Amino acid sequence: MRLGVNIDHVATIRQARRIDIPDPVEAAVLAELAGADGITVHLREDRRHIQDRDVRILRQTVKTKLNLELADVPEIVAIALEVKPEDCCVVPERRQEITTEGGLDVRAGIASLGRTVPRLTEGGIRVSLFVAPDPDQIRASADSGAAFVELHTGRYAEARGESARAEALRALGEAVDLARGLGLRVNAGHGLNYVNVRPVAALPEIEELNIGHAIIARAVLVGLDRAVREMKTLMWEARER
């Protein structure tokens, strides 16, 4: 199972001062040296953290693979087609949100996604749609022609109490099975941390977890190298059991 390290929040710290440190490009190097299998960044329309410059330099420096999260809007799709990351994950974006709040409404957006997904795919980019573990959204994702879904693990991460967590995990497991049955490949992410990652990492057939906030938060205290290594160890141990 691969770990994609989302380094948006390195840029969040830099943008707090609007200067040039800390540099997400340097963070990507350290994350890869510690075992990250991919680097994930979200170029938001409002450019609140990652900047165009970051994406372009990361394209040149990332040695594993670059996963660009983007909204289905012409400006950012055009940048993706020019930069050509290995992967693109289409996410919903709302101006007022603190982070990506929910999954895409693929059914409602199918007219546009039905054009964007093939354009990106024809550009040599593997496309993933960030969706809630909801059967209707997964079926719509398959209809869109996307190769992957990234299952939104937010409801699982926020579940309080044993039974709510078990129920959210069951929904994720069923979503994996449905997606695989429809020929989709499956990633997952959002809200995963050092305490809650194991049961999700143990779900067979999830190929990649994308984790940002928890790793960068831990990195502030223990260093990025240790933060990435500890997360990878937890994921691998979960798979071995």
The DSSP call for residue 135 is H
Task: Please give the size of the binding site for ligand PXP, defined by CB under 6 A.
Answer: 19
Out of 14, 155, 190, 232, the only residue in the binding site for ligand PXP (CB under 6 A) is: 190
9 is catalytic: no
Decide whether 163 or 216 has the Cβ nearer to ligand PXP: 216
- Do residues 194 and 214 touch, judged by C-beta distance below 8 A? yes
Task: Indicate which residue of 69, 93, 150, 208 is catalytic.
Answer: 69
Binds ligand PXP by CB under 6 A, chosen from 6, 116, 137, 196 = 6
Q: Give the span between the Cα atoms of 75 and 118, in whole angstroms.
A: 17
Separation of alpha carbons 125 and 45, rounded Å: 20
Residues 212-241 that bind ligand PXP (CB under 6 A): 212-214
Query: Which strand (E) or helix (H) includes residue 61?
Result: helix 52-61
109 Cβ contact list (under 8 Å, min separation 6):
72
Of the pair 79, 163, the CB lying nearest ligand PXP is at 79
Cis link prior to 24 (omega < 30° from 0)? no
Stretch of residues binding ligand PXP (CB under 6 A), selected from 162-170, 174-182, 208-216, 218-226: 208-216
3-state helix, strand, coil in the chain (%, to 5): 50, 15, 35
**Residue 190 appears among annotated catalytic residues:** yes
124 Rama sector, left if φ>0, alpha if ψ -120 to 50, beta otherwise? left
Annotation marks residue 97 as catalytic: no
- Check residue 68 for interaction with ligand PXP (CB under 6 A): no
Annotated catalytic residues are 42, 69, 190
Q: Which positions touch ligand PXP (CB under 6 A)? A: 6, 8, 42, 69, 89, 91, 99-100, 130, 150, 189-192, 210-214
